[in-house]
Structure 1
Amino acid sequence: MRRTGIVRGIGSAVLLAALLFIGARRCGRLPPLGAFLDPHRGVWSVAARAEPVGRQTAGLPGLAGSVEVVFDDRGVPHIFASTLEDAARALGYVVARDRLFQMEFRWRSMAGRLSELVGHDALGFDRRVRALGLAWSAQRDYAALDPHSPVARAIIAYAEGVNAWIDGLSASDVPLEYYLLGARPSPWEPVYSLYMVKLMGWDLSYGGTPDLRRLRLQAKVGAQAARALLPINAPIQQPIQPNGQAEPRFDLTPIPPPGEPDTAAQRWVQELELALGPVRDDAGSPPPRELASNNWAVAASRTAAGYALLAGDPHLELTLPAIWYEAHLVVPGVLDVYGVTIPSLPAVLIGFNRDLAWSFTNTGADVIDYYEEELDDFERPTRYRVDGAWRPLEGRLEVYYGRGGATLATDTLLSTHRGPLTRYRAASDPAGGVDRERALSMRWTLLDGGNGELVAFWNAARAASVAEWLEAMAPFAAPAQNGVVADRNGTIAIRSFGHYPLHADGDGREIRDGRRSTSDWIGFWPVARYPYARDPEQGYLASANQQPIDPRVDSTYLGADWPSPWRAMRINALLAADSSLTPEAMRRLQTDPGNARADFFLPFFLAAVERAASSGALDARAGEAARLLGSWDRRYTKENERAVLFEYAMSELVERTWDELLEERGDDRPPRRVFTPGSMVLASLLHQPGNPWWDDRRTADVVEDRDAILVASLGAALERARAEHGEPDEGGWRWERIRHANIYHLLGLRPLSALALPVQGGPGNLNPSSGSGRHGASWRMVVELGPELRAWSIYPGGQSGHPLSPRYRDRVEKWVAGELDPVLFPRTRSEVAPERVASVLELTPER
């Protein structure tokens, strides 16, 4: 039996090596084949150490005492230490053991130093990242840390643990990706932990270039229409902070018709595209929103067992290795916390301790402003003018190196007191010559400085009540997050944490005059004013990225173009309908196939067909499509065969409604939309059947109304579904054959990825499935806060970052099925049953 297993393992390794050789060609040069295939020091040696077993010991410099790490049968390390620093040190050691390449890839991504690892192809990305100033900001934050503070000591201890693992690496310990790239792991620096905080903020709060998108819209259809299509307040209100209304409120207002193009906005679009060239992340109509997290808490009075319940599932980019690492840290009498950390950070970000549990969703507030600056000299500026006085610019030289240390490029980057500065030349007439020199700076809360995020996470893990947790999270600044929390006393609460800028004038959606100090932010919302609720009368709280606070409660500008609240509407409806919730019910909700978006839009399609039929003007295709959809239960189960038709109808509806937003590109490429209004705006328009926006201006001989567009969209959707997937009942329309999750390896290597995974859910579901399938629930957790806390969890991947390890993707199948694993949460080492122990690592002080 054993010999057969070994032979099978060798066969798998041979196959994997062959696949990797093919798959890695697009990632740059492979190392010399002799070194790559060396049986003792090459890729083969990795297979021998992919999954540690038994009991191991290692010396770790800096430890105050011995640390025992028990890896359970899910690969989760339970770290039993005598001091907080030792716990952080051990965490750094075991995370590096399991995720070293991921850690290096992430810090290099944030620092703009990928070129040193993968070569010249990454230079453009590196220059863009450095222009944003994220690593520069992290370095300033680290320099400002009191080295004796608890957070600084934890960061330093964590780095010592990582470097202890790196220093002791044997050939069999080096992750596979380093062999593919012909590289060796680099030493870890404490500041890299702060890089990860900035990377997290970049992912969650750099919402592209919203000012540029608004100006593109205004340039196309005028300011009045642009304001309506990109509203400050959500037309459908079901806010995070309960507003006392049992049902969503529809604040539907007339949408003005398309206006004349705004020539001033057109000039600003041209200039901003030049100015933001290095940091833009959109090139026209933005992609659909794919960050779609959920969390909710239920009071004890509405649960079957009489204990508060909490659920959380943050939705992020799906990768292998997974973005999260599950861990349990125990320091007797000081710390006992379980949850997920991001490899690079010495803290649990989402999880629970013996007394409470918490989770987050993204707030999506507007935390970036742009300022037009006046410089003393455009070519070689050293100063900028504010209130008539010159101020010095801060400059830094950025050098970019390639593999082997060759210099690839250098940049001199400048900053004002607001943030990074970009210089550009713009033509006053698009057809004329260059005659205007402009400079634009960016203010972003993520670059403001401070270490409130790590301080908050570090202290929140030791909170013993909701009140203590809320106080611990108060310093959190960026990216703004909706934190939900519940404790064993039955208390539940939610607060939208973060720095929300206050302006002396306006709301920050305009390009501001940098020559006046009155254009600067005058501060931030006080914590007491943050959107917040505690123990509401309804008995539950939920967030799903919707607008946090009803503008009738507080109309102060917080952001604009909020995600549609379809998920929030569904969560609130399900929680309101069940006054005896269980952990199992909470688990089912996380992948609930019901869809408030389909519930809203489908009746409009069907009613339009009915009216067309009664007038004798019904297209046969639309009638058949309506018949097929009329029997659909509007549930996005994997086996359903109608969701594809509805999604095609919605796509056709968007295409036919917003034709006025198309612009030619002056080449052979098809026109593109300058902006795609959100589905809430489209929902508003459905209540305006004669609005000029319904007319498809590409059909010169007819003026369409709402019903004509709805009927035409249904007919075209049926035609497309048949062309792409065959007849309705032949199996080709099954959702599981059409919509998938795709979890790619960090380097995009398909053999190391988990692709075409059938999932339950679609646009607007609690488990939304993005078009690319590359975003989804990165972690699912349910916690019952009884006398003995119980928890269940899963994430798409596995604890190990080594592709040859059985822990690399062992959780994917359960994640796809919506299942959760019961969590092992021992107080002491002796509480871990022998059959649950996979391996043990004893770390001892090394003097």
Structure 2
Amino acid sequence: MQYTRPACLLAAALLVSGCKIGGSGGGSDNDTSPSYSATIERTTYGIPHISADTIGGAGYGHGYAIAEDNLCVLADAYVTFNGERSRYFGPDEQAAIMGTFGTPTNLEADFFFRFLLDEQQLDNFTTAQPDDLLELSAGFAAGYSRYVEEIQDGQHPDRHLDCRNAEWLTTITEADVLRRLVALNLAASSANWVEEIAAAQPPSANARMLRSLPSEEPEIDSDRFLLGREAGIGSNTFAFGADATESGGGLLFANPHWYLLGVDRFYQVHMTVPGVMDISGAAIMGAPMVLMGFNDNVAWAHTVSTARRFTLYQLQLVSGDPTSYVQDGQNVAMTPVEITVQVQQGDGNLQPVTRTMYRSEYGPMINLSGLGLPAWGNQVAYTLRDANLENTRAFQNFFAWDQAKSLDDFYNITREYVGIPWVNTTAIGRGDPRALYSDITVVPNVPDSMLATCLVPGAGEAVMAVAPGLPLLDGSRAACDWQTDADAAQPGAFGPGNLPSLFSRDYVANMNDSYWLSNPENPLTGYAGIIGREDYEQSLRTRMGHTLVRDRLNASDGLNGFLASSDNLREIVLNSRVYSAERLKDSVLGVVCDANGPEREQQACQILGSWNDTGNLDTVGAHIWTALWNRIEDLDLYATAFDADDPVNTPDGLSADSSLHDQLKVAFTETLADLENRNIALNAPLREVQFYLKPGEQIPQYGGEGNEGYFTVLRNSYMHIVEFPDGEPVRAFTLLSHSQSTDPTSPYYADYTQAYSDKQWLAFPYTAEDIAANLESSIQISE
């Protein structure tokens, strides 16, 4: 890539001093605002390596680089987080890509963000941040804003065609960066309830709502409580200790299954400030620091945790006053907040829409009628307390990890901040024989002992049945408030002594089940149900993950040796084995295949019988099994029930029940009919039927969904495999399946995606020498 310098610069200049100065930095010689300088060197796939003398400069380079790659997506997101979607796009449009916040209408999103991310919330968060994090954030804002002003000045003329002339493309400030961080904190809590919080109104106002939630009483959908309100968002990770690796040192695999589109996707970046940090990895777009990565001493990975980050409370309302409630015999008034949103009309003019929203002492009121619970009436109402709305330490924790010196240092940081908002962590360190698993995170302190007296009768059990560990508590008694451990980092939270972690010399893993089987030989037990379940059936993806490790360590996977290495791990994690097929395919075919059956069914049976039970691009049959599995997975399939003493291998075997067999035959016939109706050939290789979700591109994609038992899933996003060779710099291999840029005019829009499709890992250039050897462009920017 050749960088096109601004026309106002001297041709010989390498230093881009900027035709216009924007954001929070720069000015005249008499200006006391911050000054920033950074070098941005791009290597293969456009990965920016940013070097600066100050933390602010590192943020400046990051902000500029990510704007080069993802300007329109970020600009749209800042409109969202500022609660201004209705102003620019009208009230009724449903945002196509909202990531963790779902797809509410613009008006509901605006009221939600204006309410939860208000000035008081932002001020509390900002005041709690240390100077270095504020410096990093201010630099990020200045770098992003500098690029915006270059665009608005007519530079980079062929780039960002979707937004370069948009009214909503504006510069940002440090406050915008911090507001984005607060929003990111809420991904596994309040973000699940945008419409329900925005629409929570007392009964007298319900009729005036511009948009109502369902009034019928549907069954509670368990997916409704998942991060992003959809299945499939999660991750895999392996961390091997010295006893399980060929090198005798640690080995780490990071494998988020994260958003492929929108602002919540990953951005790969490397930032260096001499003597302070030299950190590489992935940031969720808009976060100025690396959130998952490696330096020359530690490497870590994340998976979405099962712990609950909020609780619901049922309030007993004061008779005749639905905006007050009773607690311990005392009347408590809710806090009203009047919010006005500017709404674009059909003629382009703006009209204000005002709504009064309410908070209890716990947090925002919430309308749960869509879950079959009563709407806000005259007797009861519901409210939500979100531990991560009270968590100001999350990004201090991440930023401290970026600078960690050893695995012990990393672990001590984790226990000191207890700030990680919603993910498990695995980690390894240079020269350390151990691998670490940790769910030392922000969890409401609701021990199991509280449930007998504080769970709302009936409704509480119903919620827990579909969302294990999530309590609906009695808000009429202060005795049901969250407790606080002596070592807690914030009131109402568990301290690290009551949160699970494990060091192991062989391996730890997590595939989005609970902490329980981080290492099946050393189960973690005795923790509160709000953190996760124990002794329960694991997902097929979890079982596949542990099976991959076991097959490696007992040399049954067909590869050389019996220990893990970077080389064999890069092959194993992308091998696209299908656990459901390995366990049940032959038995199912024995039931549904009839030598005298219809010709199309015989063809399908022959294809499936020859299929090697993987979802690689050239395999034939994977798409048939996927379509069949999606029809049969909820049937009572198994002959052997789940056994907590053998959780990796059970349940197993196909039941001999004749009624099940009849259901399988019907499902097989319907599956083949459906494929025929969709004009999908039975003998098509996977590369002809499964493609990467990337607008304007059609790149074949291997793998499948976790519910089928794929470890190699379709939502693979950023990935790294890291080790610390003795006497050598950190050695890492990376992939970013969705590529660095969201701009179709960028050379980095689909190149990394093609590399992922080809299973071509990138040997990451970490050292200055490796960066120089792989250099594609280099600029310096300052103001």
Fold equivalence (TM over 0.5): yes
The alignment partner of 1:741 has SS state of: coil
- Paired position in structure 1 for 2:692: 741
Equivalent runs, 1:367-406 vs 2, <5 Å: 367-376=309-318, 382-402=323-343, 406=350
Tell me the SS of whatever aligns to 1:600: helix
Q: 2: CA distance between counterparts of 1:782 and 1:443?
A: 38
Paired residues of 1:495 and 1:533 also in contact (CA < 8 A) = yes
The equivalent residue for 2:508 is 541
Relative to 1, partners in 2 of residues 1:451 and 1:47: Cα closer, same or farther, differing over 3 Å?
same
Q: How far apart are residue 544 of structure 1 and its match?
A: 1.0
Residues 540 and 560 (structure 1 numbering): CA distance in 2 closer, same or farther, change over 3 Å? Answer: closer
Other-structure match for 1:17: none
**Cα–Cα, structure 1 residues 303 and 419, in superposed 2: closer, same or farther, change >3 Å?**
same
2:365 is the counterpart of 1:421 = yes
Q: Take 1:724 and 1:607, find their aligned partners in 2: how far apart are those partners? A: 26
- Change beyond 3 A, Cα 1:382–1:742: same
CA offsets per residue over residues 20-75 of structure 1, 9 Å max, x none? xxxxxxxxxxxxxxxxxxxxxxxxx99999xx999342256255675333233432
- Given that 1:116 and 1:405 are in contact with CA atoms closer than 8 Å, whether structure 2 keeps it comes out as no
How big is the shift at 1:442?
1.6
Q: Deviations over 1:273-332 (max 9, x none)?
A: 54999x999899998611141111122343333332211121112127882222221121
For residue 339 of structure 1, the aligned residue among 278, 281, 288 is 281
- 2:528 aligned residue: 556
TM-score (norm 2): 0.75
Per the normalisation by structure 1, the TM-score is: 0.70
Matched, 1:780 2:719: yes
Question: With CA pairs under 8 Å and 6+ residues apart, which has the higher RCO, 1 or 2?
Answer: 1
Q: Read off the aligned partner of 1:513 and give its amino acid letter.
A: D
| CA distance 1:598–1:161, shift in 2 (3 Å) | same
> For residues 64 and 747 of structure 2, what CA distance do their matches in structure 1 show?
20
Quote the Cα distance in structure 2 between the aligned partners of 1:462 and 1:708: 60
| 2:607 paired with 1:646 | no
**Aligned equivalent of 2:499, options 530, 536, 539:** 530
Question: How far has the Cα of 1:822 moved from its partner?
Answer: 1.5
Q: Note the alpha carbon deviations across 1:395-435, whole angstroms, 9 max, x for none.
A: 22222224567135222111112221146999x999xx998
Cα 1:80–1:182 shift into 2, 3 Å: closer
CA contact (8 A) 2:241 2:251 kept: yes
1:716-735 residue pairs with structure 2 within 5 A? 716-725=670-679, 728=682, 731=683, 733-735=684-686
Q: Shift of residue 495 of structure 1? A: 0.6
Does 1:452 pair with 2:390?
A: no
Over aligned residues, Cα RMSD in angstroms?
A: 4.3
Q: Kindly indicate whether residue 745 of structure 2 is the aligned counterpart of residue 804 of structure 1.
A: yes
Query: What CA deviation, in whole Å up to 9, does each residue of 1:441-487 have, x standing for no partner?
Result: 1222232x232110101100111111111222333446421111111
CA–CA separation in structure 2 for the residues paired with 1:479 and 1:655 = 32
Structure-1 residue corresponding to 2:148 = 166
> Structure 1 CA distance, aligned partners of 2:279 and 2:164?
37
Query: Quick check: 1:484 aligned with 2:444?
Result: no
One-letter amino acid of the counterpart of residue 502, structure 1: N
CA distance in 1, matches of 2:376, 2:37: 68
> Deviations 1:169-213 (Å, cap 9, x if unpaired)?
412348535547742522313233333334434544569579x9x
Distance 1:190 1:321, change over 3 A: closer
CA positional deviation for 1:647: 2.2
Q: Deviations over 1:757-802 (max 9, x none)?
A: 3334444212223xxxxxx112111112113211121213443443
Offset at residue 498 of structure 1 (A): 1.8
In structure 1, what is the equivalent of residue 661 of structure 2?
707
For 1:29, the equivalent position in structure 2 comes to: none
State the alpha-carbon separation in 2 of the partners of residues 594 and 425 from structure 1: 42
1:109 aligns with 2:47: no
SS of residue paired to 1:585: helix
The answer to whether the aligner puts 1:87 opposite 2:77 as a matched pair is no
Does the C-alpha gap of structure 1 residues 722 and 98 become closer, same or farther in structure 2, counting only changes over 3 Å?
Answer: closer
Are residues 95 and 434 of structure 1, via their aligned partners in 2, closer, same or farther at CA, if it must alter by over 3 Å?
closer
Match of 2:101 in 1: none
What residue is the counterpart of 2:579 in the other structure? Answer: 596
Displacement after TM superposition at 1:816 (Å): 1.7
Matches of 1:77 and 1:429, distance apart in 2: 49
- The answer to whether the 8 A contact 1:349-1:457 is kept is yes
Residues 574 and 105 (structure 1 numbering): CA distance in 2 closer, same or farther, change over 3 Å?
A: same
Determine if contact 1:275/1:424 at 8 Å carries over to the other structure: no
Partner of 1:666: none
C-alpha separation in 1, matches of 2:288 and 2:681:
54
Structure 2 counterpart of 1:128: 108
Alignment partners' CA distance in 1, 2:365 and 2:317: 11
**Distance of 1:419 and 1:287 partners within structure 2:** 21
Conserved in 1, the CA contact under 8 Å of 2:688 and 2:700? Answer: no
Contact kept? 2:115, 2:357, Cα under 8 Å: no
Q: Percent identity?
A: 18
2:355 is the counterpart of 1:411 = yes
Shift in alpha-carbon separation, 1:96–1:335, aligned structure 2, 3 A? same
1:804-823 map, 5 Å: 804-823=745-764
* Residues 622-649 of structure 1 deviation map (CA, whole Å, 9 limit, x = unaligned): 7775554333321112222222222232
Pick the aligned partner of 2:443 from 496, 500, 514: 500
Superposed counterparts of 1:159-308, under 5 Å: 159-169=141-151, 170-173=153-156, 176-177=160-161, 179=163, 182-205=166-189, 273-274=214-215, 289-308=231-250
Which residue of 1 is the match for residue 609 of structure 2? 630
Contact 1:139 1:191 in 2 (8 A): no
The separation in 1 between residues aligned to 2:713 and 2:734, in whole angstroms, is 19
Write the letter of the residue equivalent to 1:548.
Answer: Y
Aligned equivalents of 1:106 and 1:276: distance in 2?
A: 34
* Post-superposition CA distance 1:701-755 (Å, at most 9, x none): xxx6222222332333344444544664xx4x322222332124xxxxxxxx434
Partners in 2 of 1:456 and 1:370 — Cα distance?
A: 27
- Whichever residue aligns with residue 735 of structure 1, its letter is L
Q: Pick one of 70, 85, 96 that aligns with 1:99.
A: 70
Work out the number of aligned pairs and report it. 675
**Aligned partner of residue 700 in structure 2, secondary structure:** strand
Give the secondary structure class of the aligned counterpart of 2:776. strand
Counterpart code for 2:424? N
Task: Confirm or deny that 1:150 pairs with 2:132.
Answer: yes
Looking at structure 2, the residues matched to 727 and 165 of structure 1 have their Cα atoms a distance apart, in angstroms, of 48
What is the distance in 1 between the residues matched to 2:709 and 2:624?
16
Query: Counterparts of 1:302 and 1:552 in 2: how far apart (Å)?
Result: 20
- Aligned CA distance change for structure 1 residues 417 and 600 (closer, same or farther; 3 Å): farther
Distance 1:723 1:655 in 2: 24
User: Gaps spanning 5+ residues in structure 2: where?
Assistant: 19-24, 27-32, 95-103, 197-211, 465-470, 484-491, 518-522, 553-561, 638-646
Task: Name stretches of at least 5 consecutive residues in structure 1 with no aligned partner.
Answer: 7-44, 213-270, 659-679, 691-703, 745-752, 770-775
Contact kept in structure 1, 2:80 and 2:110, CA below 8 Å: no
Q: What are the residue-to-residue correspondences of 1:764-779 with 2, within 5 Å?
A: 764-769=709-714, 776-779=715-718
The 1-side partners of 2:286 and 2:542 are apart by 32
Report Cα offsets for 1:246-286 as digits up to 9, x if no partner: xxxxxxxxxxxxxxxxxxxxxxxxx9954999x99989999
Residue aligned with 1:371, SS? strand
Quickly say closer, same or farther: Cα 1:280–1:623, change in 2 above 3 A: closer
Q: Cα distance, 1:601 vs. partner?
A: 3.1
Q: 2:489 maps to what in 1?
A: none
Partners of 1:480 and 1:329 in 2: how far apart?
24
Conserved 8 A contact 2:438-2:501 = yes
